[in-house]
Structure 1
């Protein structure tokens, strides 16, 4: 596969973090010949993101990618405590029969899980391959990389850049970004405290900044600091143990001794949003497309939702089953969500800044968090459960189209099932529930090779006589607006056949 023997694939994914591995797992599961190039030799054990929020968890469950055996049903609406700008009181909720609203899972564990699913589905994962060039040519993309045995050239129909904040793919294809410069400095690392009780676990605010401490079973403490006096002069300079010790001690207002440093790094509130998530046959996902201040655990969830939005669309395009404009909807649907995440993380940072003038504001906002439990506006915003997608058919805004279909128990001729189970194979779902739904089935006749058509008994949990559901769980059509044929044509090629997810 080196030098004179180019690698050929339908899609090349650049970057093997959890988001890139999930893209590869989705594509390979749809029967797309997929190659993933990753510069690292193995999964890094560095502590990073550990939170997946409700909408990411719900969509992973529908696609069969949720770690563990099956998915843990909640009998009624479930609640998980969380925070907003380090202030306690926020509650993330999930509807009945959905997974718990917050999944705590280390990023490295997710990367291994999605990687195993990608390889099991047939994706070729090439580690120690550093991409150096990405060139779009007629009918495809050429990707050059340096591997352990020399140069490698890959030819693909499409490329997905999942290669992080310093994305080579984004740079090589010339996708510009809107950026916000850093205004704060922050450190992160795992250490052993000389006095284990010197820092209690949790969030600590002082007049000089914030310290977040988390203890592990091995006696180490994972520490994050936030210093709002200004950005570090050189964000690329590796931090030292002495720098972390001085910063923690200064913020805490007392000396805190530590040793045995691991995974020292620095971060800030630098933000980036790519001006487009697509350039021809090249797409960006995760940190390659958007970077924001890491507060609220939303970065990993946003990247997972990027992958789950793009995967089925790109698979349909490769198989020739997608409408010509379907791939454009990836940018139209995901970029506004990322912009919203950037804005609300900036709002959280504003509440975290030092200064007595903000104490009153924090006090007022603590009350708002408590009152928000009744309607869940902030919780839905943090967990992306407030996302409503634009109507692909150009219909009027409002109504059910573009909303996420909650899980519901359904009775069919084959027995009892639910929405999650019907979406597991990855095909768009035409659910027929009313006595007058025969006309809708006839209207969809030309797309039966793509659709999973299911007739179920009417239920108050799904108050429609019929509805079209995308593989990612969002409603694409309900009666009362556009004709079903028009909605199907906006997504899929009539007469095409989709293999579904393996």
Structure 2
């Protein structure tokens, strides 16, 4: 019996598998699709944007360089790991097709942003991400099986079973990472609630006979929106209430009719090589755990792909869940640790759904939508408005309520750079947490010795310690404790025990 069976070998399932494998868990990944590559995951339709928070997750596990190489990215800050000065972002994305001006981002309003290799997002594509994570998972001893369709889920107090035909895959825990149409979600009885779609969206790779009739970039029109990032790589949104029958692939004639209507041109598609459809249906499970079955990524929450929030939210789920599930498997998790997965991540998913809904309302081709769009354009033309949107798009807004009034606790830890050249990101590659002691007398050294298997200790002055004396960081990179002074032994042990359980015996 495995420790964990993960259903779904997309980026979320594979990242979770890597987290669990890094912690020494026995992991089996079941994927219903074949092992062969899909054109929908390669360029151009497989292009995705990773937020700074997601890039940071790859960096902290030592995979950023490989990710940049696989994605063909050569000018990312990750290519210059010795950068010392904070700088404005080069690109910040869009809200409802309204592109933000990077020059308006107020870096000073982000007090816990330190320079480092993972301070910006990047463009990649699904094939590159999945290939990298599959290779990493295999190195960590994770078994991945393709062509396996789960047909039933059962569980008791000690284990759960994913059944596929005549085969049964037993584990102590089962995690559904099988996408928006999750089989695990339905079989395990999760309640899925939310709002119905306003539009049908399309992504296509086509030959356009009269390409000059279409503008590049995002184009909001009185009839919807279309965008063209590369020639022939077109996305469009038709506000039909989600009426298109998505059980059938869209034909060239249908796609051409929608494109003409949305763009207001008589453009002609002479050939369509690939096409897919989607909606802005926004749904979320009421909990991310039922007994020994958990959900992550699109299996737990779906919404429109506006702003690229789906993949990034899913990676956030995997990073949050991985170390907590591993601690539970190994038996040292404090009481209730696994329950904090839903408590911390469900509000994040709900906020992302609302962010998606807000964008849809600002794009509606009616007087109400146009009025909202005008107000939003005005706000995005201000420094405060753009900075707010940047925080949302980069993931910098995420903060868990960990019961502390310190403004850094619950946030992703800045990439502190110690005087000896070590960065916080370097300390987290093996999946352990970190205790940073900025004092010169290494006050926490003796106290931290009880948690060596779960916590790395590093001491010494930092290039910028943000006025802090010490910081305790969870394995997911979230600050669990921070203070202007170094805590005494009792205070440190209380904080460490709360998240990491009792000290090693």
Structure 1 residues 361, 112: CA separation in 2 closer, same or farther (over 3 Å shift)?
A: same
Equivalent in 301, 313, 333 of residue 302 of structure 1: 313
CA contact (8 A) 1:78 1:100 kept: no
Structure 1 residues 260, 375: CA separation in 2 closer, same or farther (over 3 Å shift)?
A: closer
Cα drift, residue 380 of structure 1: 0.4
Cα distance in 2 between the residues matched to 1:96 and 1:277: 34
Equivalent in 449, 452, 472 of residue 453 of structure 2: 449
Cα distance in 2 between the residues matched to 1:259 and 1:496: 67
Find the residue that maps to 1:409 and give its secondary structure.
coil
Equivalent in 467, 472, 490 of residue 498 of structure 2: 490
Structure 1 residues 359, 166: CA separation in 2 closer, same or farther (over 3 Å shift)?
A: closer
Which residue matches 1:461?
A: 465
Cα distance in 1 between the residues matched to 2:392 and 2:250: 34
Which residue matches 1:500?
A: none
Find the residue that maps to 2:90 and give its secondary structure.
strand
Cα drift, residue 360 of structure 1: 4.8
Cα drift, residue 364 of structure 1: 3.4
Structure 1 residues 251, 459: CA separation in 2 closer, same or farther (over 3 Å shift)?
A: closer
CA contact (8 A) 1:78 1:101 kept: no
Cα drift, residue 187 of structure 1: 2.1
Cα distance in 1 between the residues matched to 2:4 and 2:377: 47
CA contact (8 A) 1:298 1:383 kept: no
Which residue matches 2:185?
A: 170
**TM-score if structure 2 supplies the norm length?**
0.88
Cα drift, residue 51 of structure 1: 0.4
Structure 1, unaligned stretches of length 5 or more? 1-7, 498-502
Find the residue that maps to 1:188 and give its secondary structure.
strand
Cα distance in 1 between the residues matched to 2:213 and 2:386: 39
Root-mean-square deviation (Å): 2.3
Which residue matches 1:286?
A: 297
Which residue matches 1:134?
A: 153
1:354 matched to 2:365? The reply is yes
Cα drift, residue 188 of structure 1: 2.2
CA contact (8 A) 1:43 1:111 kept: no
Structure 1 residues 371, 153: CA separation in 2 closer, same or farther (over 3 Å shift)?
A: same
CA contact (8 A) 1:434 1:458 kept: no
Cα distance in 2 between the residues matched to 1:283 and 1:80: 37
Structure 1 residues 458, 68: CA separation in 2 closer, same or farther (over 3 Å shift)?
A: closer
**TM-score if structure 1 supplies the norm length?**
0.89
Cα distance in 2 between the residues matched to 1:419 and 1:352: 41
Cα distance in 2 between the residues matched to 1:331 and 1:57: 23
| 1:58-78 per-position Cα deviation (integer Å, ceiling 9, x unaligned) | 122112232136933454224
1:30-429 superposed matches below 5 A: 30-41=23-34, 42-46=36-40, 47-66=45-64, 67-68=67-68, 71-72=78-79, 73=81, 74=83, 75-81=85-91, 82-91=93-102, 95-146=114-165, 151-215=166-230, 221-232=232-243, 234-356=245-367, 358-372=369-383, 376-391=387-402, 395-411=403-419, 415-429=420-434
Cα drift, residue 445 of structure 1: 4.1
Cα distance in 1 between the residues matched to 2:504 and 2:290: 26
Cα distance in 2 between the residues matched to 1:388 and 1:246: 44
Structure 1 residues 397, 375: CA separation in 2 closer, same or farther (over 3 Å shift)?
A: farther
Cα distance in 2 between the residues matched to 1:477 and 1:174: 37
